[in-house]
């Protein structure tokens, strides 16, 4: 019953807050969650390294990841998914969402969806009130967002503030943005000041997820702190990453530090 009541309340609130979140793409600050960005700070300049490890080509283009279906695939501004890549075994996790109707962004890959359900159940048992906001984001969707930005702001501006198609981790089907009623379903850094945000930071790894864009790691991840963005890795790997307190780039040795 609790879930149903939440859904009713959620959908009522959605009328008030949901719509402008989805279409706030014209906003100019880049974040991994370009659809719903709110309080992002401007990302710092990326270091101008060009080593074999990062595999950044001379013209600034990026490499394409070779095995996008791996659970430990690393996607970032230097490593993009193949054009049009669609993850297999997509499903909608049975968790409360910030909106009711079907949307492709409700989807995750099966293993990640199952893990998210366990995470939500455990959180609920501890009195948390988590709400899922945005999972899968297709290549086409990213392309539309990027091209809208180019049309509105010009290419140079778009390149600086909008993620290029294929570079969103949401395309892997392994990411989900999570918020709460207390946050009014917004994705903002102040989430970490709430019980739900803190709980996620401390417990997500037990269910195979990490906070992908930690605070103070913008130089490495390319993104400002996103306490709401969960990335599925599987319990073993997520546990190690959490324990070592590293970004995925550091953990996998993809972030050179100029020797
Ligand atoms: Zn996200």
Q: H-helix or E-strand containing 123?
A: helix 110-125
Give catalytic residue positions.
Answer: 226
Mean pLDDT of the chain: 83
Tell how far the Cα of 226 is from the centroid of ligand 1, in angstroms: 7
Is 171 part of a structural domain of the chain? yes
Round to whole Å and give the CA distance between 192 and 71.
Answer: 26
Alpha carbon distance 136, 109 (integer Å): 9
Q: Find the 12 Cα to ligand 1 centroid distance in Å.
A: 24
Question: Any residues with CB less than 8 A from the CB of 30 and at least 6 apart, and which?
Answer: 37, 40, 43, 160, 161, 162, 163, 223
Whether residue 201 lies inside any domain: the answer is: yes
Lookup result for tokens 């790997």: 237
Q: Decide if 137 is inside a domain.
A: yes
Residue 160 maps to which CATH number? Answer: 3.30.1380.10
Over residues 36-80, the pLDDT tens digits come to 443 343 333 333 333 333 344 444 568 999 999 999 999 999 999
What lies within 8 Å, CB to CB, of 250 at 6+ separation is 220
Report how far apart, in Å, the C-alpha atoms of 155 and of each of 56, 158, 160, 204, 222 are.
20, 5, 9, 37, 19
Residue 213, in any domain of the structure: yes
Q: How far is CA 196 from CA 144, 187, 218, in A?
A: 32, 13, 23
- Tens-digit pLDDT profile for residues 156-191: 888 877 779 999 999 999 999 999 999 999 999 999
Q: Are 123 and 202 in contact (CB under 8 A)?
A: no
**Domain-located, residue 218:** yes
- CA 186–ligand 1 middle distance (angstroms): 12
**What is the arithmetic mean of pLDDT over 219-247?**
96
Q: How far is the CA of 259 from the centre of ligand 1 (A)?
A: 31
Residue 74 is given by DSSP the state -
Residue 51 lies in a domain: no
CA 259 to chain CA centroid, nearest Å: 30
Distance CA 179, CA 17 (A): 13
Range of the domain at 160: 2-17+58-251
Which residues surround the ion ligand 1 when the cut-off is CB under 5 Å? 32-33, 177, 229
Q: Is residue 37 part of a domain?
A: no
CA 257 to chain centre: 25
What is the rounded distance in angstroms from the CA atom of residue 87 to the CA atom of residue 17?
30
Q: What total of structural domains would you count in the chain?
A: 1
- What is the tens place of the pLDDT at every residue in 75-122? 999 999 998 899 999 999 999 999 999 999 999 999 999 999 999 999
CA 62 – CA 57 distance, rounded (Å)? 6
227 domain residue, yes or no: yes
């Amino acid at each position: 019953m609790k879930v149903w009541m939440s859904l009713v309340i959620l959908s009522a609130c959605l009328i008030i807050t949901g719509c402008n979140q989805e279409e706030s793409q014209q906003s100019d600050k880049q974040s991994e969650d370009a659809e719903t960005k709110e309080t992002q700070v401007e990302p710092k300049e990326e270091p101008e390294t060009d080593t074999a490890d990062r595999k950044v080509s001379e013209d600034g283009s990026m490499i394409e990841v070779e095995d996008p279906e791996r659970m430990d695939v690393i996607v970032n501004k230097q490593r993009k998914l193949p054009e049009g890549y669609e993850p297999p075994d997509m499903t909608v996790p049975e968790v409360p969402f910030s909106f009711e109707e079907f949307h492709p962004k409700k989807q995750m890959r099966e293993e990640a969806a199952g893990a998210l359900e366990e995470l939500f159940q455990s959180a609920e048992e501890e009195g948390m009130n988590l709400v899922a906001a945005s999972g899968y984001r297709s290549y086409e969707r990213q392309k539309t967002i990027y091209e809208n930005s180019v049309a509105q702001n010009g290419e140079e501006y778009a390149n600086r503030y909008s993620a290029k198609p294929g570079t969103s981790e949401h395309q892997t089907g392994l990411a989900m943005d999570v918020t709460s009623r207390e946050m009014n379903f917004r994705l903002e850094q102040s989430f970490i000041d709430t019980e739900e945000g803190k709980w996620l930071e401390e417990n997500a790894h037990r269910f195979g997820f990490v906070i992908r864009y930690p605070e103070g790691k913008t130089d490495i991840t390319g993104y400002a702190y996103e306490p709401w963005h969960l990335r599925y890795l599987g319990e073993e790997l997520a546990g190690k990453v959490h324990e070592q307190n590293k970004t995925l780039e550091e953990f996998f040795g993809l972030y050179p530090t100029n020797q």
